[in-house]
Structure 1
Amino acid sequence: MISTWIRHRAGGGRAGKKQQPDGNLNMEVTIPTHFRCPISLDLMKDPVTLSTGITYDRENIETWIEAGNQTCPVSNQVLKSIELIPNHAIRKMIQEWCVQNRSYGIERIPTPRIPVSPFEVSEIVSRIVSATKRGDQIGCQALIAKIKSWGRESERNRRCIAANGTGVALSAAFEAFATASFEKNAGVLQEILSALPWMFPRDPEGQSYLRSSPSLRCMVWILECGDLSGRQNAVLALKQLLSFDQQHVDALGKLEGVTEALFKLIKEPISPTATKASLAAIFYLVSSLSSSSEKIKSRLVEMGLVSLLLEILVDSSESSICEKALGVLDSICCSNEGREDAYSQALTMPVLVKKILRVSDLATEFSVSVLWKLCKNEKKDEGSALVEALQVGAFQKLLLLLQVGCGEKTKEKATDLLKLLNPSRGRLECIDSMDFKNIKRPF
């Protein structure tokens, strides 16, 4: 089988014709067989040799080995070692061939970086532990910068770094430096948080360091006083921590200032990533069964979270942000204070009805749940929530939802809502729920 490399036109992606000095058209460049990976049959970019003596492209053979295969794909011999030895001779020959054929549109492959090894990671982790014990924040920062540099080189490096205890070592270092002093060690603390998102410890030991009182208070302090990147990394770390265990939620919910710091990140957004992480963190706090959950809900309602969530839902077109905002609103409306505030907002019913079947299944589920809580728990002598829902087309939307199909719990709530709405729908005029022009916004 012979593979060829044909130059393509810049636009359209069709095979192009290269006009040669001698007038020949449609010249094709044949890739030498020994330059092609035996697995993909493509030109090798990072040739490596197995213990069997066969050379493959690194990415392809790593995928083969990671899939659980223990034999050489070509020879079918059992691999005595999975060490991949860079084949510099073949790589240089491929680069020279690329240069010789650059007139045909072939680009020279870059010299690949050698991937980091588990031994190198273990060594630098040991040095981080030693630097932490000495209280050497400058040395620790330099080592973390080296790890981040390795991680930027390839996804393989990231997996190797994360798999060799780096997350636990950084978590322990974070707790140690946080215990010593937030202000004096702010640099190394923020450097650790910048590396944690892609190597966050999933084992109890690593999480226990981050769940400790000094670590949590330090993250809240960075949320309040850190620079923009520090605040974003802190809220990302908190969101990941809260997603693992109820213990983490309980511990964070007892700290002063966390509610205000997270609310500020939503009210004064620094990036979509930070906004989503803040909404997720608040969702974990207000939807938990901890004793502090009700206090947090009351405080957030008092600060104006309901109107802020409605503003986000009106202005944002990103499904992930809408889902999280609706999830928080659903949890907030479990409390009397939350529902009372939602009743008072002119945008509540139009926004909720609009989001049904418009964003995602999850957003629809939350929207129906909030509507159900507002209509079900409204005082019998008022009925304004039912009237507003009917006027913005809730009855028609819910009927359509049942026809399209939804989850069992959502179906039950939608059916219950239709029963609540049906007695009044004959005497009310329905308006377009998509039109917010004549509705006064509370912000």
Structure 2
Amino acid sequence: MENGTLLVDIALSIRMIIHMCESAKSQQGNCLALAAQLRLLKQLFDELRQSKFPLSDATIEAFGSLQSALQGAKEVLGQCSKGSKIYSFLKSPQCVDQFQELSAEIETILSASRLALPRVSKQVQCMAENCVLELRKASYSKDVLEEQIRQEIEALLCDHREGRKASREKLDKLAGCLGITTKEQISEELNALEKDRGEAGRNKDKLEEEFIDQVISLFMQLAEDNFDDGNVKGETQSQEVQIPADFRCPLSLELMYDPVIVASGQTYERAYIQHWLDQGNTRCPKTGKPLAHINLIPNYTVKALIASWCQTNDVPLPKVDAVKSTNWLPPTFSEAEEAREDTSVIPSGLDTDCEERSSDHGSSTGIVSGRRKDKDDVYEKRMPSGPVMRVRSSSTYSSELSGEVEALGLSPSRNSPDHFPIFTRQMQSSKQKERKSYKSVYAGGDKVADAGIERLVQNLASTDLEVQRSAASELRVMTKNSIEDRNRIAHAGGITPLIALLSSGDAQTQENAVTALLNLSLNEHNKAEIAEAGAIDPLIDVLKSGTSDARENAAATLCSISVEDYKEKIGARGAIPPLVDLLRTGTPRGKKDAALALHNLSLFRENKVRIVAAGGVKPLINLICEPRMGMVDRAVDVLVTLSSIPEGRMAIGEEGGIPPLVEVVEAGSPLAKERAAAALLQLCTNNPKYRRTTLQEGALPPLYILSQIGTSRAKEKAAGILRLFREQRQASMSRRNRHM
């Protein structure tokens, strides 16, 4: 190393150490004393750098030793300025000794090198001599207040080891002395303790690691006693909860209770849009476009998402009795535009022409289960100048399964939570033309439509491939557009010939058939008919060897028809291995459909074993590790189901699933955090090895935070894991005490 470089490095080290001394959190008196001595040393090296005199080999060797000593000083000061406050107080006696040894080492090096120094100014020589004298006289002592705090912590640790719980008064006093009075400070201290323990583990210092374990256990008692759920809850409630724009009615700007879709595809609160229509308005308030009809179709997807959001954020469900005043309604479109200035547009995926998917959003996970019963409502509306129109709406309006047009999620607006993703896919122009063609042909009334459907169903059995393909394509479009047409096609016997076309050698025909069946399955009473007509085996064949789109829609169809009676049958017929393969190798859309299907099937116990045996755990873990795909919540949902069986827990642990789950607890959506905590609780409850792994991954701080400010279920799961950690530490300390 060149002389100049060595001197620069020493000068920088001295400057850094002085800064660390001035920002120390403990040993402040000793740190300031060391800083004063080092300032004298800094002046010496500044002069040496400016003089540019050559250094002798002996001086270079001495200064190299000085640089090593200064590096040791950084490590000592690091304990005073960083890391855990509790741990630094407990290490206080060792720190005092280290300060003394450090000064003595620097003084010895300077004394040896001073004789070999080149000619420098007499002033600097005097400074060097003064520095040596100051270092020689240096005396470091224990800070009285810090020593008192250390003794108090030692006494509490002793009581804790012997199973005696500290009094609330002592813990309050200690928290105040340490300056740990907020959730953020608790989290910082927990993180610091975990890092200190990790450092001891890397140094293979078993005794120190066990000692820090005891400190963490004591600190958790302090945290639990001083920051109970009540305090945190009050603090959380004081913060304003922002309502996602997509959950507010564009007319009232209030959270919707009974959202409905109008002909333009926009969603409103029923009471307000009904009042708007009753005033004689025939245009959509949001878009300003004329309404083709004034039927109101319930939007069960948005309603379920609002209910889930309310539960997650502890917000009461909205209730709309009636519109109390007519003055609030903007009489013109321009005024309606002003009234909704701060709202965002519900995506076009809500258009009633979109492919609809059934979903049970009543579950906490939001995953399709296919158990919702039809609650068909008939609405009778009269246009200002036209006949009475009738429309039947079903609760099976849409879901989370993806298809030609993906179902509604919610766009992350400036007010919306990240865990409500919006899935939208633009329709191809050819598809839009098909839809317009269908409307023009079958808009002549029920009899015309029935006749057209019967003809299409007959054409499915044609020996002409082109006729088959065309019929399957038209039925695919029709089932995408209308609940009524799905019923008509099923009633006309269309299900059986569509199933037959799943074995077609023509890829396009097969794809159209499987997509039409998917759409038909969204009507609740069609599910059993499709399954009973023998669709399961052909769907599994398509899932194994079809085109990419066909495989995805086959997975979605299996998910849709896997109601309680058919979960076992679908799993037993061999659907799970190809679903796992789609999960592993499919497109993002295919992986989503596969994850939904696997979750639905995993609700039957034997299918859980089959998913694990097919190697489904690893690709689920991989999805958690790739948050950009938007599949974290889905994957965690399946893993928490699999964690309920021994095979699943073993696979999650052995495939490296614990670190990603800990990451979700720390940074996932509120619902994902809850589910990840549930999976970790299963793992930690049944295997001490996984308990240790979870601790080593730094789960303690995020679990503590979750136990304070998560959803009610998340708090319960996190508290359960923390209790297991505490019991394990207490058992470990008891064993050590017996051997002492």
Category of TM-score, reference length = shorter chain:
0.5 to 0.7
- Cα drift, residue 423 of structure 1: 4.6
Decide whether aligned partners of structure 1 residues 201 and 41 sit closer, same or farther in structure 2, where only a CA change above 3 A counts. Answer: closer
**1:276: which partner in 2?**
592
Matched to 1:174, the amino acid is: L
**1:350: which partner in 2?**
659
In the TM superposition, 1:301-380 aligns within 5 A as 301-319=612-630, 321-345=631-655, 347-356=656-665, 358-378=667-687
Alignment of 1:159 onto 2:482: yes
Decide whether aligned partners of structure 1 residues 147 and 286 sit closer, same or farther in structure 2, where only a CA change above 3 A counts. Answer: closer
- Cα drift, residue 213 of structure 1: 6.8
Match among 287, 291, 298 for residue 603 of structure 2: 287
Contact 1:167 1:201 (8 Å CA) reproduced: no
Match among 381, 389, 395 for residue 694 of structure 2: 389
C-alpha distance after superposition, 1:406-427 (max 9, x if no partner): 134x433222211111255699
Matched to 1:331, the amino acid is: T
Alignment of 1:246 onto 2:557: no
Q: Could you state the TM-score of these two structures normalised by the residue count of structure 2? A: 0.39
- Cα drift, residue 135 of structure 1: 6.5
- Cα drift, residue 188 of structure 1: 3.6
Decide whether aligned partners of structure 1 residues 149 and 70 sit closer, same or farther in structure 2, where only a CA change above 3 A counts. Answer: closer
- Cα drift, residue 300 of structure 1: 3.2
Structure 2 spans left out of the alignment, 5+ residues: 1-279, 299-378, 391-432, 733-740
**2:720: which partner in 1?**
416
- Cα drift, residue 393 of structure 1: 2.5
Matched to 1:216, the amino acid is: I
**2:282: which partner in 1?**
39
C-alpha distance after superposition, 1:30-57 (max 9, x if no partner): xxxxxxx963499x99xxxxxxxxxxx6
Alignment of 1:174 onto 2:498: yes
**1:18: which partner in 2?**
none
**After alignment, is 215-224 or 396-405 more displaced?**
396-405
**2:521: which partner in 1?**
200
- Cα drift, residue 62 of structure 1: 1.2
C-alpha distance after superposition, 1:171-217 (max 9, x if no partner): 23223456xxx25576544321123444434243x323421373111
**1:407: which partner in 2?**
712
Contact 2:670 2:710 (8 Å CA) reproduced: no
Contact 2:707 2:716 (8 Å CA) reproduced: no
Using the alignment, how far apart are the partners of 2:532 and 2:283 within structure 1?
Answer: 49
Contact 2:511 2:547 (8 Å CA) reproduced: no
Contact 1:375 1:385 (8 Å CA) reproduced: yes
Contact 1:161 1:199 (8 Å CA) reproduced: no
Using the alignment, how far apart are the partners of 1:377 and 1:340 within structure 2?
Answer: 10
Decide whether aligned partners of structure 1 residues 65 and 349 sit closer, same or farther in structure 2, where only a CA change above 3 A counts. Answer: closer
Q: Please provide the CA RMSD for this pair.
A: 3.6
Matched to 1:282, the amino acid is: L
Decide whether aligned partners of structure 1 residues 240 and 299 sit closer, same or farther in structure 2, where only a CA change above 3 A counts. Answer: closer
Using the alignment, how far apart are the partners of 1:221 and 1:195 within structure 2?
Answer: 17
Using the alignment, how far apart are the partners of 1:297 and 1:159 within structure 2?
Answer: 36
Decide whether aligned partners of structure 1 residues 370 and 176 sit closer, same or farther in structure 2, where only a CA change above 3 A counts. Answer: same
Decide whether aligned partners of structure 1 residues 123 and 303 sit closer, same or farther in structure 2, where only a CA change above 3 A counts. Answer: same
Matched to 1:171, the amino acid is: I
Matched to 1:377, the amino acid is: N
Using the alignment, how far apart are the partners of 1:137 and 1:207 within structure 2?
Answer: 28
Q: Which of these two proteins has the greater Rg computed from alpha carbons?
A: 2
Work out which structure has the larger RCO, using CA pairs closer than 8 Å and 6 or more positions apart in sequence: 2
Decide whether aligned partners of structure 1 residues 136 and 362 sit closer, same or farther in structure 2, where only a CA change above 3 A counts. Answer: farther
- Cα drift, residue 163 of structure 1: 5.3
Using the alignment, how far apart are the partners of 2:456 and 2:528 within structure 1?
Answer: 18
Matched to 1:139, the amino acid is: V
Q: Taking every aligned residue pair, what percent have the same amino acid on both sides?
A: 19
| Secondary structure of the structure 1 residue equivalent to 2:711 | coil
Contact 1:174 1:192 (8 Å CA) reproduced: yes
Contact 1:167 1:200 (8 Å CA) reproduced: no
Contact 1:197 1:233 (8 Å CA) reproduced: yes
Using the alignment, how far apart are the partners of 1:41 and 1:386 within structure 2?
Answer: 57
| Secondary structure of the structure 1 residue equivalent to 2:499 | helix
- Cα drift, residue 355 of structure 1: 0.4
Alignment of 1:190 onto 2:507: no
Contact 2:510 2:550 (8 Å CA) reproduced: no
Matched to 1:217, the amino acid is: D
Using the alignment, how far apart are the partners of 1:199 and 1:373 within structure 2?
Answer: 38
Decide whether aligned partners of structure 1 residues 166 and 362 sit closer, same or farther in structure 2, where only a CA change above 3 A counts. Answer: farther
| Secondary structure of the structure 2 residue equivalent to 1:310 | helix
- Cα drift, residue 224 of structure 1: 1.0
C-alpha distance after superposition, 1:348-369 (max 9, x if no partner): 2221111025332331222011
Structure 1 spans left out of the alignment, 5+ residues: 1-36, 46-56, 84-110, 152-156, 429-443
Q: Could you state the TM-score of these two structures normalised by the residue count of structure 1? A: 0.63
Matched to 1:246, the amino acid is: E
- Cα drift, residue 138 of structure 1: 4.3
Match among 128, 133, 140 for residue 456 of structure 2: 128
Using the alignment, how far apart are the partners of 2:506 and 2:546 within structure 1?
Answer: 12
Decide whether aligned partners of structure 1 residues 184 and 417 sit closer, same or farther in structure 2, where only a CA change above 3 A counts. Answer: same
- Cα drift, residue 328 of structure 1: 1.5
Using the alignment, how far apart are the partners of 2:682 and 2:617 within structure 1?
Answer: 15
**2:703: which partner in 1?**
398
Contact 1:135 1:177 (8 Å CA) reproduced: no
C-alpha distance after superposition, 1:93-115 (max 9, x if no partner): xxxxxxxxxxxxxxxxxx99565
Using the alignment, how far apart are the partners of 1:139 and 1:354 within structure 2?
Answer: 54
Using the alignment, how far apart are the partners of 1:163 and 1:174 within structure 2?
Answer: 13
Decide whether aligned partners of structure 1 residues 419 and 392 sit closer, same or farther in structure 2, where only a CA change above 3 A counts. Answer: same
**1:105: which partner in 2?**
none
Matched to 2:699, the amino acid is: A
Using the alignment, how far apart are the partners of 1:327 and 1:217 within structure 2?
Answer: 26
**1:234: which partner in 2?**
554
Q: How many residues are matched?
A: 323
Decide whether aligned partners of structure 1 residues 338 and 226 sit closer, same or farther in structure 2, where only a CA change above 3 A counts. Answer: same
Using the alignment, how far apart are the partners of 2:452 and 2:489 within structure 1?
Answer: 9
